[in-house]
């Protein structure tokens, strides 16, 4: 009997089983007890440390709910830079208002049953749902079971639910305007191969900025890669090499739909012998902490994660909101951050005999 088997039987994620065994906060008491009971019944040799924590003692509590294994959010979502930073600010805001946070993750494989289980544990608690990867129907289902709900990082205008989202179109517009303003005309677009609401809005905003300058991204300058890898990607290398052979040169600049993709693209370009930004400028989106660790530091679009977290927490903890049936849709503007990965274009670099940049 493995932890994965217990997770499947309990209809929770493996990370929830780990939290139950370790005695750490992040799941409700009823869920913890159910996991431990199943483990005992199946003969799993676990000795959980059930420790009292500030979160469990607090009578004022919010739930941070994540649906994993769907789109770009994995079971280890708390290790993904963007979500890690967002969660940090949610915790900080809750702490400042005297609230604790319980983290609950639901595996998409058992979505309906698991949401009902969360509702049984936390029906009277305020819930912040990370909606990045969720459809309108999925969010509506959660709201039906957990009415004190705020959804972060997406928005569906026709749902009577509080939403707090990024102004994605504005951020991508800022990125496109920057590249045009410093003289780029041959611009490439690196998209996520997993499509979500945020990326579609970024695509539209970037196209709008280029359109104002009489430009567009040619199909041959559009690439698609995994959105959650910070390392170089073979698929990116193959697409860039294919572009070189077909066109004889690469774009002078690349806009990437998120910083993960931008950092991955920079590493792939370096392996191909290209210099960033001297040969190719690269710009990302999100301004994760890793964007200032890479060399060169990444030009990007700053997402106001702290403000988004504050707005979400305040919607659930402000007494004035409790007596109101009106719901709000809040879009938080972005900010352009100029660093070292973009500059004015130089002469186009063609393809060498080996298929890479000539030495």
The CA distance from 104 to 147, in Å, is 16
Q: Is the pLDDT of residue 38 over 70?
A: yes
Range scoring the smallest mean pLDDT among 90-94, 184-188, 255-259: 90-94
CATH architecture of 168-302: 3-Layer(aba) Sandwich (3.40)
Residues with Cβ < 8 Å from 157, sequence gap 6 or more? 329
Range scoring the smallest mean pLDDT among 12-21, 51-60, 273-282 = 51-60
Q: Judge whether residue 74 has pLDDT over 80.
A: no
Residue 59: predicted pLDDT: 62
Give me the half-sphere count of Cα atoms (radius 13 Å) on the Cβ side of residue 353: 0
Q: Alpha-carbon torsion 28, 29, 32, 37, what sign?
A: negative
**Separation between Cα atoms, residue 277 and residue 341, nearest integer Å:** 5
How far is residue 291's CA from residue 203's CA, in Å, rounded to a whole number? 21
List the CATH code of the domain at 3-166: 3.40.50.2300
pLDDT higher than 70, residue 351: no
Largest CA distance in the chain: 70
Q: Is 172 helix (H, G, I), strand (E, B) or coil?
A: helix
Q: What mean pLDDT is predicted for residues 19-29?
A: 67
Which pLDDT does position 47 carry in this prediction? 47
The four Cα atoms 120, 116, 146, 19 give a dihedral, to 10 degrees, of 70
Q: In terms of pLDDT, which residue wins out, 316 or 124? A: 316
DSSP 79: G
200 pLDDT exceeds 70?
yes
What are the backbone dihedrals phi and psi of residue 347, each rounded to the nearest 5 degrees, phi first? -60, 140
For CATH 3.40.50.2300, list the domain ranges present in the chain: 3-166, 168-302
CA 277/CA 1 separation, integer angstroms: 52
Q: Which of 54-68, 236-250, 272-286 has the lowest mean pLDDT?
A: 54-68
In this predicted model, which residue has the larger pLDDT, 51 or 163? 163
The average confidence (pLDDT) of the chain is 87
Contact 253, 185 (CB under 8 A): no
Looking at 258-299, which runs of residues are DSSP E strands? 281-283
Q: Supply the angle between the helices 305-317 and 81-96 in degrees, to the nearest 10.
A: 40
Cα(121)–Cα(178) distance, rounded to whole angstroms? 48
Q: What is the pLDDT of residue 98?
A: 93
d(CA 307, CA 281): 29
Q: How confident is the model at residue 322 (pLDDT cuts 50, 70, 90)?
A: low
Return d(Cα 259, Cα 280) in angstroms, integer.
16
pLDDT bracket for residue 28 (50, 70, 90): low
Please say if the pLDDT value at position 79 is more than 80.
no
- pLDDT of 48 reads 41
Encode pLDDT of 295-315 as tens digits: 999 999 999 999 999 999 999
pLDDT digit string, tens, across residues 217-263: 999 999 999 998 888 999 999 999 999 999 999 999 999 999 999 99
3-class DSSP state of 197: helix
Q: With a cut of 80, say whether residue 346 has pLDDT above it.
A: yes
Measured torsion, CA atoms of residues 283, 289, 295, 298, in degrees rounded to the nearest 10 = 20
Q: Is the pLDDT of residue 24 over 80?
A: no
What is the percent of the chain with per-residue pLDDT over 70, rounded to a whole number? Answer: 86
């Amino acid at each position: 009997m493995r932890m994965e088997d217990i997770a499947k039987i309990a209809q929770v994620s493996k990370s929830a089983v780990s939290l139950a065994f370790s005695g750490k906060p992040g799941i409700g008491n009823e869920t913890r007890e159910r996991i431990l009971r199943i483990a005992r019944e199946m003969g799993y040799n676990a000795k959980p440390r059930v420790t009292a924590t500030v979160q469990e003692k607090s009578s004022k509590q919010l739930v941070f709910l994540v649906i994993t294994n769907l789109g770009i959010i994995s079971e280890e979502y708390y290790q993904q830079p963007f979500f890690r930073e967002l969660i940090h600010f949610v915790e900080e805001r809750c702490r400042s208002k005297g609230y604790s946070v319980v983290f609950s993750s639901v595996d998409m494989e058992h979505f309906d049953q698991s949401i009902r289980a969360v509702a049984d544990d936390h029906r009277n608690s305020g819930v912040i749902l990370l909606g990045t990867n969720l459809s309108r129907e999925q969010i509506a289902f959660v709201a039906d079971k957990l009415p004190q709900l705020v959804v972060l990082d997406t928005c569906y205008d026709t749902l009577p639910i509080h939403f707090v989202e990024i102004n994605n179109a504005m951020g991508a517009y800022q990125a496109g305007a920057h590249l045009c303003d410093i003289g780029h005309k041959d611009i490439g677009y690196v998209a996520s191969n997993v499509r979500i609401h945020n990326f579609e809005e970024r695509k539209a905003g970037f196209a709008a900025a280029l359109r104002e300058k009489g430009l567009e991204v040619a199909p041959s300058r559009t690439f698609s890669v995994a959105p959650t890898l910070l390392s170089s990607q073979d698929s990116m290398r193959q697409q860039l090499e294919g572009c070189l052979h077909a066109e004889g040169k690469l774009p002078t600049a690349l806009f990437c739909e998120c910083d993960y993709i931008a950092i991955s693209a920079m590493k792939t370009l370096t392996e191909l012998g290209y210099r960033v930004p001297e040969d190719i400028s690269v710009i990302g989106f999100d301004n994760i902490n890793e964007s200032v660790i890479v060399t060169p530091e990444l030009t990007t679009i700053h997402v106001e994660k702290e403000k988004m977290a504050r707005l979400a927490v305040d919607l659930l903890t402000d007494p004035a909101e409790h007596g109101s049936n009106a719901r709000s849709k809040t879009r938080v503007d972005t900010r352009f951050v100029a660093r070292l990965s973009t500059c004015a274009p130089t002469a186009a670099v063609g393809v060498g005999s080996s298929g890479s940049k000539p030495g």
